[in-house]
Structure 1
Amino acid sequence: MPRFALPTAPRRPLVMALWLCLSLSAGAQAADPALTWDLTPIYASDNAWDAARQAALAELPALSALRGTLGRDAASLRTALDRISAANQRMERLWVYAYALQSTDNRERRHQERVGLMGQLSGQLGAALAWVEPEIQQIGAQRLAQFQRQDAGLARHATRLHHVLRLQPHTLGAEAESVVAALAPVRGATAQARGLLVDVDIRWPSITIDGKPEKIDDTSYGRWRQHPDRAVRKHVFDTFFGQLGQFESTFGITLGTAVQDNVVMAQLRKHPSAVAASLAADEVPESVYRTLVAETRKGLPTLHRYFRLRQQMLKLPDLHYYDIYPALLKRDVSYGVDEAKRLTLAAVQPLGAPYQQQLQRLLGQRTMHVLPAEGKSGGAYQTSVYGESPLVFLNHQNDYDSVSTLAHEWGHGMHTALANASQPFEKASYPLFIAEIAAITNEVLLSQHMLAQAKSPDEKLYLLGHELERLRGTYFRQTMFAEFELRTHDAVQAGESLSGKRLTEIYCGLLKDYHGDAQGVMKIDPQYCQEWAFIPHFYRGFYVYQYATSMAAAQFFADRIASASDATPRETYLNVLRAGGSQAPVAALKRAGLDMDSPAPYEAVIRRMNAIMDEMERLLAQR
């Protein structure tokens, strides 16, 4: 897809799920307006959105007419790129509005149709601009450098021009690029089909929990799998995965097709592999991905040590997959949204007063859609329109995980705010490799703050246990997902077909490896091996590994900021965020003192986990 056409998703990274308000679902209408976001700064009404979409559609012929003008002179190039950039800004605004509405109520036909219209428009825009990259490449590096010296207005486009030249060996001809761009809505349909299947079409069953009927769907599953009663947890797992498993073949088609699409596109663009094609977009060496997997594999004994500690603390005779999520210690503390905000603001104090103050201002606006509702997407995310306040989507459950999620998403939100304030639109959109660092650093700072405020050994044990679980979920689990992606894509590249049952086999093998099934650490029950169908991130090829690399980077930056005697480490970190997408991410981190292509950052995560367990064992011995 041409880099000058907006992809078929909001520009900002989405976290954990897909992605008021003007058109609330029945479940959300009863919510406090302060807990729903206000989309009127983007569009005053649905009619205003549709008028803007029609205007964008009407402009396509004029954009196509720019073809053949880019190489005339510096002024012609700047004029064309400025107009294309303005079109992309309008597309971003259209997309964010459409996705924000759909994710609050996936049942609403108008929301589905609006997203469908945006898919069509994105394909049309991509086709209208498919000639841009080949034409820029024909100008050549030497003449482009001359144009940039002649016209200072091209500075805002320098990063994009760099990428166009860098990716020249993987760019098709103008006609082929037009075909690929026009097919974008079709190629993205598998992810949308998976989302509608989970959020709308599957009839999720209800079970009795604590004397009340509770629906077990993709949102509530995350809550009930933490239940302290083992029998309830097993019932929740059996119910959820039993229902999910009935659609194994359908999920196999949607994910298998998405993997096939990644492989075919990598071959068409002459990349050695699908993973190399994905990482090339952000100049991330494939060696970073493979180093992560190799070093994580080396650290599995530490993960297994954690599982044995979990079994000991929960006083269980054995360990099953449904025993991962309950807190190691019971702690009856409810964290409402206001308390979650207060704790997050206190936790980010090491990032300086300006950061705190800006976050406080954003939290005081209607920038969040907070509470679960019927038809609402699961998970959490942050997205934005350039020049507007970031938007954060949550499913707040009043537990400590919800506090951590709010801190995480506002790490993204503040990253967006800092990058937008420091960079022009064309350079503000940061790569995913950097995005998760900002979010997870906030989680690490929250953990440090909470531990410093702990008033008893039991509270400290609870928080240390939560940190261990965060390291497991963000580092080991996401790397397991990354390895799953490698294996599925390797299978297709080797000519293998990916049925639902084959995907389950691949995933089951990894579950057993990572959780020590053969070593007697944890029993992996076969009915839970269809968990791959629950993970929406697999439809964004080679995305999840960045959670794990970011976990390592976030720990590095948070530790350095906490131990510093001056503001230098803090400003170094914030400057990485302010840079937005103006720098290659791995190179930018290396300049900030962190080499993600070496084993060192991953070894540090393993050391941190062992240090936490050493401290927990010391506290347990004193009880």
Structure 2
Amino acid sequence: MSSVPDRSEIDAEYKWDLESIYATDEDWEAAYEEVAERIEDLAAYEGQATDDAETLLEVLELRDDLMREVSTVASYARMRSDEDTTNQEYQAMSARAQSLAAEAQSAASFVEPEIQSLTREEFEEMLEAESDLETYDHYVDDVLRMKPHTRSTEVESLLADLSEVTGATGEVYNMLSNADMEFPTVEDPDGEAVEISQSNFVNLLKRPDRDFRQHVYEAYFDEWESVRNTVAASYKNSVKADVKLARARNYDTAREAALDGPNVPVEVYDTLVETVDDNLDKLHRHAELKREALDVDELRMWDLYMPLTGDEGPDVPYDDARQHIVDALAPLGEEYQSRVADGLESRWVDVYENDGKQSGAYSGGTYDTQPFILMNYQDDISSMYTLAHELGHSMHSELTKDEQPFVYSSYEIFVAEVASTVNEALLTDHLLETVDDEQFRRHVLNEFLERVRSTLYRQTLFAEFEHEAHELEEAGEPLTADRLDDLYQGLKERYYEPADVDDRIAREWMRIPHFYRAFYVYQYSTGISAALAIVDDVLEEGEEAAADYREFLQRGSREYPLDLLRIAGVDMSTSDPIERALDTYGQRLEQLASLV
């Protein structure tokens, strides 16, 4: 029987090195207590932040020091919890850390409203009196920009205190989908029992036996059917929270509120959806080619993940994947490449799936730690690409920390997904240029097409879904399980017009955790569009374009996202990068079609 191993069965070299943050949980506890005591130091400045330039600098530096410590405490607790979501001790630790972070945010909530009591001219006078405030110039500009949407100190404090409550639906969903739901075990064509999990579901849908794929598909979504009302209630209340918080901050819509944070015009969102909708013919062509490759009368939803190559992909052991990725990053410069190689040797990555582990993948860590990458590596090409993706995030953080103070060390998701997808695109180019094995090359090309399909098309479908769901809530329409299913199925039918869209796929929205971060997913689509343009420039122009890209990574959040991307030579205020990405998708689709 195939089963997911216990964490204790996995070798230490394939686990992330959380002991580099705190050697023991007792050390974490001591850090927690120390940070908790410092919160009052910041709160004592309330009402005084803008008394003079020196005080404002003290407040900002104290706030940053405190948040640095809180982020490290919270990150450690979260990652321990993600190692095994059934471990109640670490769940409690993570909950305490979230409460601490909320308390710190509440204590700091006076800072921005007090800065907003200033005019730009008054801040300029403070700059003349205290030159060290220059560090915070862009930050203050951003705070003043948000003045119409920032409430009084009392209201901001209340909203900060309520952040645990307003974000609770995502936590409930996470516990349901990763800890409490038990997916069935199915028998594969060889008679072996296979346990379906969140991590291996898509991989099982790549198996060559069509009846087995159908069995997996139906069993998986039938399990979601058993909790559909719970998930619908969870998502409905998540959407309600988005809408109410947007209105509390004087926005007309939740989408406007979400996009205004990073200063991205809603027109960018609309341009993405319109451009993708205008190019659905390419996706329809992809679906039709899958039908032909499978030699079936009708493409079904359990066929969507099957490769155009018509056979199961080659195994890619983790150590092989590491070497491919390091080699692929050579165009970004020797220093960049070496840093990735060193990180992979320094236990940045928690590699394999274990019982109770958080599904999916992410890049974590803080300003004061090394990067940490959660994986559920499955020894295939897709997992190799996921590793390259997360390493892009990690290197973005590393290069930003090298050049920027803490206040600019984070970066908006809008630009974060560029760094991750640049790595993927470089990996594709490298493998197609250097690997002689024709089967491997066909699968690499197929992986590229699937990445574009699932990133540019699929995430835009998701973006349409959550936009329409929020519009229904804003119009006072009920978000029932049936309504959400109908909305999702309608989109699926339009995007996959040549295929048979059955009723079970209407529940697919239930398995998407990103919906609990409102208006997040569209940035995967804009990110891959920008990334493909950057990689084209790097490969054509060499070091000059690579240097521009590295500068973009080093800038962190010191400029607004669209301005940052212009440093790298991309203008996302237009449809051009999206159209270029879709053209590349169409060209490579025909290239693979001619091979298979």
Question: Partner of 2:193: helix, strand, or coil?
Answer: strand
Report the Cα distance in structure 1 between the residues aligned to 2:419 and 2:253, rounded to whole angstroms. Answer: 29
Per the TM alignment, residue 196 of structure 1 is displaced from its structure 2 partner at its CA by 0.4
C-alpha separation in 1, matches of 2:312 and 2:20 = 41
1:558 Cα offset (Å)? 0.6
Amino acid at match of 1:602: I
Question: 2:392·2:419 contact (CA, 8 Å) conserved in 1?
Answer: yes
Q: Which moved more, 1:426-435 or 1:50-59?
A: 50-59
Matched with 1:262 is 242
- Corresponding position of 2:529: 552
Distance in 2, Cα, partners of 1:427 & 1:485: 29
The CA distance in 2 between the partners of 1:241 and 1:361, in whole Å, is 41
Q: 1:4 maps to what in 2?
A: none
Gaps of 5+ in 1: 1-24
Aligned residues: 591
| Matches of 1:150 and 1:226, distance apart in 2 | 64
Distance 1:501 1:216 in 2: 26
When structure 1 is superposed on structure 2, of 177-186 and 313-322 the one drifting more is 313-322
Match of 2:549 in 1: 573
Find the counterpart in structure 1 of residue 226 from structure 2: 246
| Cα distance between partner residues in 2 of 1:458 and 1:214 | 27
Please, which of 135, 140, 143 is the counterpart of residue 114 of structure 2? 135
Measured after TM superposition, the shift of residue 129 of structure 1 is: 2.0
Query: What pairs up with 1:57-72 in 2 under 5 angstroms?
Result: 57-72=36-51
Matches of 1:34 and 1:389 in 2, distance apart? 16
Cα deviation 1:527-568 (Å, max 9, x = unaligned) = 12111110000000000000000110010011111111x411
The residue type paired with residue 412 of structure 2 is P
* 2:290 paired residue number: 310
TM-score (norm 2): 0.97
User: Is this contact kept in 1: 2:207–2:312, CA < 8 A?
Assistant: no
Match 1:373 to one of 343, 349, 354: 354
For residue 266 of structure 2, what is the aligned residue in structure 1? 286
Whole-Å separation in 1 of the counterparts to 2:126 and 2:347? 44
What is the one-letter code of the residue matched to 1:225? Answer: L
Q: In the alignment, which residue of structure 2 is the partner of 1:475? A: 456
1:68-467 residue pairs with structure 2 within 5 A? Answer: 68-209=47-188, 210-329=190-309, 330=311, 333-455=314-436, 457-467=438-448
Deviations 1:205-236 (A, max 9, x none): 11112322111121121221111111111111
The within-5 A match list for 1:526-541 is 526-541=503-518
Instruction: Give the drift of 1:571.
Output: 0.8
Q: Cα distance, 1:132 vs. partner?
A: 1.4
Q: Secondary structure of 1:138's match?
A: coil
1:30 paired with 2:9, answer yes
Letter in 1 for 2:234: T
Q: How far is the alpha carbon of 1:418 from its aligned partner?
A: 0.6
Residues 258 and 519, structure 2, Cα contact 8 Å, conserved in 1: yes
Whether the aligned pair in 1 keeps the contact of 2:375 and 2:387 (CA below 8 Å) is yes
Report the Cα offset of residue 26 of structure 1. 7.7
Counterpart secondary structure, 2:297: coil
The farther-off stretch of 111-120 and 168-177 is 111-120
* Cα drift, residue 321 of structure 1: 1.1
Residue 582 of structure 1 is aligned with which of 529, 543, 558? Answer: 558
TM-score normalized with structure 1 length:
0.93
What's the offset of the Cα at 1:331? 5.2
Q: Tell me the secondary structure at the aligned position of residue 305 of structure 2.
A: coil
Map Cα deviations across residues 394-438 of structure 1 (whole Å, 9 max, x no partner): 000000101111111101111111111111111111110110100
Q: Structure 2: which amino acid aligns with 1:122? A: A
Aligned equivalents of 1:345, 1:292: Cα separation in 2? 32
Aligned: 1:504 with 2:508: no
Alignment partner of 2:471 out of 479, 490, 497: 490
Q: Could you tell which deviates more after superposition, 414-423 or 152-161?
A: 152-161
| Aligned counterparts of 1:422 and 1:129: Cα–Cα separation in 2 | 25
Q: Is the 8 A contact 1:35 1:371 kept in 2?
A: yes
SS of residue matched to 1:325: coil
Distance 1:26 1:589 in 2: 42
SS of residue paired to 2:18: coil
Counterpart-to-counterpart distance in 2, 1:244 and 1:418 = 41
Paired with 2:65 and 2:514, the residues of 1 have a C-alpha distance of 30
Please tell me the residue identity of whatever aligns with 2:403.
Answer: S
* Contact 1:248 1:501 (C-alpha < 8 Å) held by counterparts: no
Question: CA contact under 8 A between 1:262 and 1:274: conserved in structure 2?
Answer: yes
Residues 149-188 of structure 1 deviation map (CA, whole Å, 9 limit, x = unaligned)? 3223223322321221010000011111111110111111
Aligned 8 A contact 1:418 1:577 in 2: yes
Q: Distance in 1 between matches of 2:489 and 2:160?
A: 36
What's the C-alpha RMSD, in Å, of the aligned pairs? 1.4
Contact 1:371 1:395 survives alignment (8 Å) = yes
In structure 2, distance between residues paired with 1:150 and 1:326: 64
Which of 572, 575, 595 pairs up with 2:571?
595
Q: Deviations over 1:419-468 (max 9, x none)?
A: 11111111111110110100001000111111112425544332222211
Structure 1 residues 555, 157: closer, same or farther in 2, change over 3 A? same
Contact 2:206 2:312 survives alignment (8 Å)? no
SS at match of 1:276: helix
- Give the drift of 1:591: 4.1
Whole-angstrom CA distance in 1 between matches of 2:25 and 2:192 = 39
For 1:247, give the aligned amino acid. Answer: V
**Unmatched 5+ residue regions in structure 2?**
none
Task: Tell me the amino acid that sits aligned with residue 136 of structure 2.
Answer: H
Q: Is the 8 A contact 1:383 1:390 kept in 2?
A: yes
Tell me the distance in 2 between the aligned counterparts of 1:159 and 1:363: 34
Partner-residue secondary structure (3-state), 2:491 = helix
State the partner residue of 1:563: 540
Q: SS state of the match for residue 382, structure 1?
A: strand
Whether contact under 8 Å (1:159, 1:427) holds in the other structure is no
The answer as to whether partners of 1:122 and 1:185 remain within 8 angstroms in 2 is no
Give every structure 1 segment of 4 or more consecutive aligned residues whose post-TM-superposition deviation is greater than 6 Å.
Answer: none
CA distance in 2, matches of 1:387, 1:120: 21
